[in-house]
Structure 1
Amino acid sequence: MTTKLSTSTKQLSIFALLLFTIAFSLLNSAAQAHQIKAAITTVLFNPRTENIEVMHRFNLHDAEHAVKALFNKSADIIDDEETQADFADYVAKHFALLNSEEEALDLSLVGYEVEGKHFWVYQETAQPPALDGLKIRHDALRDLWPSQVNTINVEGNGPLKTLTFTDNVTLLEVGFNNDHH
């Protein structure tokens, strides 16, 4: 048995579907407009090179907005090498690895690149002979956006350790079991 819908029922169904579509689009736009600002950094103890390698990954969209606020409104991180270098330098100045005595390890800026939807910044330093832990500061973009979340994964010196910088956190610490070195 098939049911025939009246014209007013069809119009009401179309109207309801239209309202749902508009409401969904507005909610989706609002969610995208207020996406969480986040960056991920890997601190890798590389046994082959005996270096600590640092790889920062920023969403390119966030980096685009950041350079316009940090440098000038015409800054272009996608196509301008100078803007890319300036942003990489900014990141390097807002990140630090400290030993247990709170002495900064001398990180070198190795390079940077745009890759797909991300902007990468690379740093490294020689592994100190004895290191029972690290204190880490990572406040890149947190001066622009207090809600910025910077997550760090520390790999290659015992089990994976994850640190998350949120709110007013400025310094976090990881300890190592040095049986592996």
Structure 2
Amino acid sequence: MFVLPFFLFSFSPSIIHPFHTSLTQMEFDPQRQTFEISLRLFTDDFETALTKENGGKSVHLNTSQKQDKLVEQYVRKHFAVANADRKLNPITYVGYEQEADAQWIYLEMPYSAKTQNIFIKQDILIELFTDQVNLVTIQLNQVKKTVVFRNNQPVQAVTI
């Protein structure tokens, strides 16, 4: 009696994950004077975005064929950090890796502690999902701050 509802719930493709969210962690390394940045995205959502970015040609990230060029292109289009004068900080793409049902994307960004006001753009996957929520956690020395990005707020001023 309970087997059929459980079976339908367990294998329904539309119930893979009921929410659309990403997590970005920015952790300052004082010795290197850089932020180590990692973005965590659900693989199925990210592959959908990359397929769209790739002109509709299907993209799969869990294969031996790496998609670094396409991943970097997409991330640069949807994630950026600028100083108070809105000059973009240079970001180095490091790579990506699979973990369970998610992808981790790694970036590095030099940072001068002189600047405390920055602008962050984080609109990854917002073009696909109107309910997309992107959390950005910034850790600088002993201070930790989380900023929430939504469809109506893809760019925000942050004081760190």
Q: Which residue of 2 aligns with 1:137?
A: 121
1:126 maps to which of 110, 114, 129:
110
* Structure 2: runs of 5 or more not aligned: none
Question: Which structure carries more relative contact order (alpha carbon 8 Å, separation 6+)?
Answer: 2
The size of the alignment, in residue pairs, is 158
- Per-residue deviation at 1:112? 1.7
1:83 maps to which of 67, 70, 74:
67
* Structure 1: runs of 5 or more not aligned: 1-17, 177-181
2:137 maps to which of 153, 156, 165:
153
Alpha carbons 1:97, 1:137 under 8 Å: kept: yes
Q: Which residue of 2 aligns with 1:65?
A: 48
Confirm or deny that 1:110 pairs with 2:91.
Answer: no
Structure 1: 4+ residue segments shifted above 6 A = none
Alpha carbons 2:26, 2:37 under 8 Å: kept: yes
- Per-residue deviation at 1:100? 1.5
Q: Which residue of 2 aligns with 1:179?
A: none
Q: Which residue of 1 aligns with 2:154?
A: 170
Alpha carbons 2:123, 2:151 under 8 Å: kept: no
- Per-residue deviation at 1:34? 6.1
Confirm or deny that 1:36 pairs with 2:19.
Answer: yes
Confirm or deny that 1:47 pairs with 2:30.
Answer: yes
Say which one has the larger Rg.
Answer: 1
Counterparts of 2:113 and 2:27, CA distance in 1: 16
**How many percent identity over aligned positions?**
27
Task: Using structure 2 for the length normalisation, give the TM-score.
Answer: 0.83
Confirm or deny that 1:97 pairs with 2:81.
Answer: yes
Q: 1:37 to 1:80 in 2, by over 3 A?
A: farther
Letter paired with 2:45: D
**Secondary structure at 2:143 match in 1:** coil
Of stretches 61-70 and 115-124 in structure 1, the one that deviates more from structure 2 is 61-70
Alpha carbons 1:85, 1:112 under 8 Å: kept: no
Alpha carbons 2:95, 2:106 under 8 Å: kept: yes
Alpha carbons 2:139, 2:145 under 8 Å: kept: yes
Q: 1:78 to 1:147 in 2, by over 3 A?
A: same
Which structure carries more helix by proportion? 1
**Secondary structure at 1:85 match in 2:** helix
- Per-residue deviation at 1:78? 1.3
Which structure carries more strand by proportion? 2
